[in-house]
Amino acid sequence: MTDTLQRADIQLIQRILPHRYPFLLVDRVEEIDGTARALGIKNVTMNEPHFQGHFPGTPIMPGVTIVEAMAQTAAVMVGVAMDLADKDLLIYFMAIDGCKFRRKVVPGDVLQMDVRTLRGKPGGKIWKFEGKATVDGEMAAEAQFTAMMDLEA
């Protein structure tokens, strides 16, 4: 880990990611260590639209949105490290491997997404990450995912 970790608040996140409500799934990134590692935060609230149908009376954050939150955290990490704010970065999933879900994520939880780069370098388009999402230190989900990062010309 470097001596100076960077951070990203919601304003910087929105300058890097193309996602907006209701699909912007990271509220802040508390620790960014270059392109090596990042720790993102998602405050899970009842007013999110997926809770209307997943499931009525028993709201549970869909697993795919947990994986998406990890991927968005990884994209913010790369965007901050490579100074890509306001550069029209688009990110596409290429693969999701070894995905496992361990606990429900419900309104009121604070989801922490710890992502690490397994493969990728500044200037490269293809990146592979591993992510672990936890609530109160308890594993909620984990996965490896590959993404293509594309800057529009």
Positions marked active-site: 54
Rg, Å, the chain Cα set: 15
Query: Which two tokens mark 80?
Result: 């901050």
Within 13 Å of residue 144, how many CA atoms lie on the same side as its CB?
Answer: 7
The strand pairing partners of 142, in sequence order, are: 100, 132
Question: Where are the alpha helices (H) located in the chain, listed in sequence order?
Answer: 10-16, 63-81
Distance of CA 80 to the CA centre of its chain: 13
Query: Which two tokens mark 24?
Result: 């912007």
Distance of CA 128 to the CA centre of its chain: 13
Cβ 139 vs Cβ 128: under 8 Å: no
